[in-house]
Structure 1
């Protein structure tokens, strides 16, 4: 069922790091060793085993780099699983990414995988780090796959191999952001006996819903970037774009790219944000659904890379691993199960707000009804009216506004229920956005990374949504509006994406649109604007990507009031966490 395309070997270039070549062997890197000038020297002697072969259950051999503290004391090991080259930490592309988000390369040693744990820190804390070239990458054998249960089986085998090494205590963990986070869902679901804890730090958990067909729309620009600029190897790699073209609905192919959440039972420290339009929905979904009894969620207020390499956050993660990989009784269990942030967008963010759950106890799902006549949001339905826009016109949006007269905090899962009609078409691609406005109606936004200079301003003007937060958004192709009867809840609508239901002339239908989770404070006098449009309202998620072109035409009509009372449902949280 999978579709493959030829891969090609990685050649020297912007993705080629100092340690990218194939050079099996063992050496000791002395304390003070510096792999390249921009990076931090290592603080302790590190044994570096390079390109070690590991044979998987189907006979395929992959190669891994191992970094471990010098000495005879056995140590636990943390795996960084991804298709990004195990020597890519020093590459020009990774250094460029750090510059993009305002991170100095001196915060890492350059020995780490892109988005993975730094051996310089972890070896000094008594851990080993394993950086694999996974199936089909570099000199590793086999055909590579993209975010698939096959990866879970492969990493299961690697974990069991690691646990049997004489230098290992038998305890294995996983950590990392983005791809490295996704791999952890799939691996933990395979239940390798020696996997003791995971740390998924923002990552999708459903390839169809999060990557290639969010809202049922074939928005594949980032999937193409991932396919074309990763998985360098000598055999074949999965062609995710061809699969999206041939499998536009949810089927067995995509089901194999959803981890079995019920089988994830290991302790998990999950990190999320509200602002990553690629990762946010998937991270929260996985955290909700995994079966782990010992699971923690921290929701930060920025971009994942600065957050991951922040010294305080790294030390916090070490306490978690010390508890479950070293069996230290360090009181980690007293850590609040949820620590969430509330964005202010004017410099007053609150972070680390403790709670027993997300949304926090006492949160009330509150409906704000759309009024097409006054373009306002009301506490109860108005008389029937409509608001409409012509696709491709200016303006091609309709919006609805409310002003908060008292302090209001939104924490949780927003959703919208809209009564819609397509005139001159049999389908609609709908995009929605919640914006915070100041008392004078000016939209408020916030950069998520340290870099807020002219280049960052340019990149985020009409895209790069991961770098500038403009509010929680959602999208849905109306013909794919059918809800899953087993997964949908009042807070989070989940679409089955297994059938097409086109619109007939004059037909008005209800659609439920999931918006990304939110943590947002409104002060007295500030306003909330709810926007509905037939075009993407945030632009592409990453810098340089092409924007998605919707399959829209005609006139989009939003019905409001009476028996067609469209509404925006918002999670209104108690104020006590904000004033404590």
Structure 2
């Protein structure tokens, strides 16, 4: 049974079509508690049970969507503009009307849940497991739990599902990375710090348990046990500096390691083709490597915040969850082969043809290291015009021969960062751009690599010719010596683009972020120091140094 605090509230049943219980306490295996809000159909009881949808995260279960992000809320589908709507989570009104209980929990150290605030930690996932198992055992629960949410509320689904908690029946990770190192913290080993610094300050820290003044700021209620002092707040939060976590065998990152193959529940992974700097790769690889017998990959486009609430997408979510949590399969989710495994973009039953357009120039191309600011040095490789309309769908690898050189009177650089973008050029010569996470213009896709972390592991079961696997361990660091030429394979994130007849693709190579990076910047002065990187960067061409891009071409029907 729930341990309820005296301040727990049950909302007037006449105000909404559902019942709300606030600050229900869930006991944890370590002696702590997690507090949640429950949104139930009014008929929920020990005799009338319902499946449970859970979200567990750091944004404050009581912070209204219209306060958290007013501009986004104003653009959300009207059916999801409600008093209990919350950022990137299912709308209680909709889901209770359709026979679900919604459980919205504050992560440890957030909102009304006491403890150490340590987002994206192993302990946080431990608590998530306890929440799922608790929900499955309550008298009003059917015993089946589903997970549905966006971004953070999706990324944690991969990790917790791999733990196989009792009661978990299906997951819908909607735009959520599955590799905390390669897709979130470090792209190709390069620290992606700019977004997460702002994210923590804007979206996480204001929700800390015990933080004074939340109610005064209309940011949810104050902590029911009272405020904590500045010293207590400092002691109760842990925010690791990303530049300290350079490798995947760092202790904090190693604790997060899990096998996607351990996921066995049905999965609907939803990937946004415009999410080229955070979530896209994780949704594709999460789908690819999950051990589930029934798994589906759905591609969408558009902004990061709105499609989750589109009526047609909500119906897809509900039909999938109804199939696995209610036994009501209207579309064929539970029938092997009844639905395509991948939807919207990939063509079923066609084999990919990999082509390798070569860079035939005999020149060596040079550019300056540490490309920072709005106009970094860029070198480009342009394809010949495509003779026919051509679809490119899948994983792309760029093979380059690179080196570094020292400046006159300068110190010798000992590393090289590669920033690659693939751009689509129309027959008229204009770039065709796509919609990124916040509505910004983005290219087809991007890729990155620390040259000192170029080592691949061909023995790893995830290694493929079209997807080189890197462990990114501290023991994998290789030397980068001036004027030594190193062949490297740079992974570009999976994508789809249809190039019309007469159109071209341009591959740009730089030593820093170029157009379309948005707020996923990579210019931390510690991670990318002048002492390590300053100098010349070079791409070597010619018969002795073959460079190419591997493109997955979909054959025409």
TM, length-normalised to structure 1: 0.81
Q: How does 1:249-398 map to 2 (within 5 A)?
A: 249-251=247-249, 252-276=251-275, 277-330=277-330, 331-332=332-333, 333=335, 334-341=338-345, 355=348, 361-371=350-360, 373=361, 384-391=362-369, 396-398=377-379
Spell out, residue by residue over 1:188-234, the C-alpha distance to the aligned partner (whole angstroms, 9 max, x if none): 11111210100000111222212222121122122222333305123
1:567 matched to 2:548? The reply is yes
Structure 1: state its 5+ residue gaps: 1-20, 34-41, 342-352, 374-383, 450-463
Q: CA deviation at 1:548?
A: 5.4
- Measured on the aligned residues, the alpha-carbon RMSD in Å equals 2.4
Determine the C-alpha separation between the residues in 2 that align with 1:309 and 1:199. 14
SS at match of 1:272: strand
SS at match of 2:291: coil
Structure 1 runs of 4+ with >4 Å offset: 235-238, 392-395, 545-551
CA contact (8 A) 1:474 1:515 kept: yes
The partner residue of 1:210 within 171, 183, 186 is 183
CA contact (8 A) 1:182 1:205 kept: yes
1:25 matched to 2:12? The reply is no
Counterpart residue number, 2:91: 118
Determine the C-alpha separation between the residues in 1 that align with 2:135 and 2:487. 52
Cα separation, partners in 2 of 1:548 and 1:324, compared to 1, 3 Å: same
1:179 matched to 2:161? The reply is no
SS at match of 2:124: helix
Cα separation, partners in 2 of 1:103 and 1:448, compared to 1, 3 Å: farther
Spell out, residue by residue over 1:315-372, the C-alpha distance to the aligned partner (whole angstroms, 9 max, x if none): 111111111100124333322211033xxxxxxxxxxx6536xxxx31112112123x
The partner residue of 2:466 within 476, 491, 516 is 491
Determine the C-alpha separation between the residues in 2 that align with 1:318 and 1:237. 38
SS at match of 1:568: strand
Determine the C-alpha separation between the residues in 1 that align with 2:513 and 2:88. 28
1:426 matched to 2:414? The reply is yes
SS at match of 2:288: helix
Cα separation, partners in 2 of 1:190 and 1:118, compared to 1, 3 Å: same
Between 499-508 and 48-57, the greater mean CA deviation after superposition: 499-508
CA contact (8 A) 2:194 2:519 kept: no
Q: CA deviation at 1:492?
A: 1.1
Determine the C-alpha separation between the residues in 2 that align with 1:363 and 1:506. 37
Counterpart residue number, 1:508: 485
Cα separation, partners in 2 of 1:448 and 1:340, compared to 1, 3 Å: same
Counterpart residue number, 2:245: 247
Determine the C-alpha separation between the residues in 1 that align with 2:524 and 2:555. 38
The partner residue of 2:503 within 523, 526, 529 is 526
Counterpart residue number, 1:192: 165
Cα separation, partners in 2 of 1:325 and 1:257, compared to 1, 3 Å: same
Q: CA deviation at 1:575?
A: 2.2
Q: CA deviation at 1:473?
A: 0.5
Determine the C-alpha separation between the residues in 2 that align with 1:267 and 1:28. 36
SS at match of 2:456: coil
Cα separation, partners in 2 of 1:213 and 1:240, compared to 1, 3 Å: farther
Determine the C-alpha separation between the residues in 2 that align with 1:206 and 1:294. 21
Q: How does 1:40-51 map to 2 (within 5 A)?
A: 45-51=17-23
Determine the C-alpha separation between the residues in 1 that align with 2:78 and 2:186. 35
Determine the C-alpha separation between the residues in 2 that align with 1:546 and 1:110. 38
The partner residue of 2:58 within 46, 63, 83 is 83
CA contact (8 A) 2:298 2:344 kept: yes
Counterpart residue number, 2:432: 444
Q: CA deviation at 1:529?
A: 0.6
Provide the aligned length of Structure 1 versus Structure 2.
499
Between 260-269 and 173-182, the greater mean CA deviation after superposition: 260-269
Q: CA deviation at 1:126?
A: 0.4
Spell out, residue by residue over 1:256-301, the C-alpha distance to the aligned partner (whole angstroms, 9 max, x if none): 2233212110011110022111111222221111111110110112
